[in-house]
Chains A and B, each alone.
Chain A
Amino acid sequence: MFQRLTRERQLSLTIFIDGTATPARHGDTVAAAMLGSGYVACRTTAVSGAPRGPYCLMGVCFDCLVKIDGDANRQACMTTVQDGMRIETQRGKREYST
């Protein structure tokens, strides 16, 4: 789990993680917002279905892949939160038609 050091009022945005409204801080990455809200895992792998979550947070491990506003396999750590953003955790391989 992660918690904020600085004051709560800085969480001025609302994002949706798997449909649940979640407060987020302006300037946070999606990965930080998810970790800060208790999401340690964000997907299951395309090879074996094993659970994965963010590992490096700097864009090189590709474990933090989530669907953002309908786009699959986006790196959560390389995307800054926007108000109203819809984030979905992923299961296995992406679908062709998404």
Chain B
Amino acid sequence: MIVASALRDRYDVAVVGAGPAGLAAAALCARAGLTCALFDDQPNPGGQIYRGVTNSPFDRGTVLGGDYWSGESLVCAALGSGAHYFSGASVWGLLRENEIAVSLGGSTRQIRATRIILATGAIERPFPIQGWTLPGVMTAGAAQILLKSSALVPTGRVLLAGCGPLLWLLAWQYLNAGVRLHTILDTAPAANWRRALRHAAAFVASPYMAKGLRLMFDVRREVRVVPGVVEIAGEGGGRIGAVVYRTARGRSERLAADMLLLHQGVVPNVNLAMSANIAHRWSEGQLCWVPRVDSYGSTTVPHITVAGDGAGIAGAEAAEARGRLAAIATIRALKEEFPVGELERAARQSLDRYQRGRAFLDCLYQPAPNFRRPRGDTLVCRCEEVTARQVLETAALGCPGPNQMKAFLRCGMGACQGRFCGLTVTELMAEARGLPCAEIGYYRLRPPVKPITLAEIASLPVDGAAVKAVARE
């Protein structure tokens, strides 16, 4: 690991994010002889999917599953490639003229890179239900992080609610670890099956089917699964105490709960890309914003490429392949003579393989509308505590979009910068105005995309024009 003092002022390539896409991209760029910085805000490499792979509390047993450990070789390749890896490094802004503002150890540095590869991955989709802000309610991803990084498992009565491959994976990993989940509340709408069927052939031929089926079979054998759940509410005083749910068939139940884990898919973490004015589009298939990219991940901003789940959700193996493709485009631009033809062929072959079957999963696990568009006192914006009722009332005022909504209600103005409310607001406004989400738009994002101290901002370089613009007495 390199210490902060070794950070150079200039690199050929800066890669943001040390998940599978970023690790693969950095390794290949460095291998081609480009100077490469790899920034990641977590203390260890691996992103979320391979979280803790370099300092795991587990011996190589069977708790986490074989796929997890493949992250180790990715990390080794990156760290041994000659790329400069910086952990705990938060890239908070892509500024004018190819400048990157990165916060390391409490102080900010501004470095320049000819090309930038964004591999900032995905975040959990918001899951706005009554009580989702109660202590003791966390995402399934959070529970998985505790498992992978610290070998911590929940005790007491634990409920898991939602839909998506990660939910079943976590449940399976918990089984392996001897954790007895009380109930899984499955919110995948029954109607999804019909829409997913037309992609079934591709799914059957994909790497996901055999694994996925075995996982679900193992879990369903041991854990009570309630299908067709259409409504969930968490109840409690200072923490979660009970969960009430209702199914499509009208059956409802109140369950005591010590912990509620929520998950309904992941979505690209778009804040850094959007703050750099990279054009995005609405994906109807994945119900989220994705950057407009070509087959290499090149964006509407010439020197920036996006790789991995940040370009659209496709899983870890696809992310790795896209990381290589982003590196290949970068190498072609900066070092023509390095041969990439064969590498590209292999990467595209891998990408095809791991993208096969994703459309089926996207359809099957598309979250139900009522879990994407809350009502009443359910909080939409966790940071500023804005309710669905307030959002809908303000939409009825004729508010044209999320930015005016933000100005009127403060939703999206908190520290998370819309990561947990933005999609909900876009969808609620689309519903209220009878317009497609693509037309409603999203929050306008600018640097810093992660909070940094005022002292750090004060330490950025200034020129005469900047001083004149401010100190005008």
Contacts and interface: CB of A to CB of B under 8 A. Distances in A.
11 contacts: A5-B153, A28-B150, A35-B146, A35-B152, A54-B142, A57-B145, A57-B146, A59-B450, A60-B269, A61-B419, A61-B420
Contacts of A61: 382, 416, 419-420
B58 interface: yes
Nearest to B138: A55
Task: Say what secondary structure dominates the interface of chain A.
Answer: loop
Task: Say what secondary structure dominates the interface of chain B.
Answer: loop
Contact of A10 (B57, B385, B414): B57
Interface string A1-37: 1111110001000000000000001011100100110
Contacts of B63: 5
Given A55-B137, A58-B48, A63-B382, A32 B150 contact: yes
Interface of B: 41-43, 48, 55, 57-58, 63, 88, 123-124, 133-139, 141-142, 145-146, 149-156, 177-178, 238-239, 258-259, 269, 382-385, 414-416, 419-420, 450-451
B142 A56 contact: yes
Which of B55, B134, B151, B450 has its CB near the most chain A CB atoms (within 10 A)? B151
The 4 closest A-B pairs by CB, nearest first: A53-B135, A41-B135, A57-B142, A62-B415
Contacts of A85: none
Interface string A48-86: 101111111111111100000000000001101000000
Contacts of A51: 134-135, 238-239
B149 A45 contact: no
Contacts of B139: 55-57
A36 B143 CA distance: 12
Which of A45, A50, A55, A80 has its CB near the most chain B CB atoms (within 10 A)? A55
Given A53-B135, A62-B414, A63-B382, A29 B141 contact: no
B131 to A, nearest CB: 11
A77 B149 CA distance: 11
Nearest to B48: A58
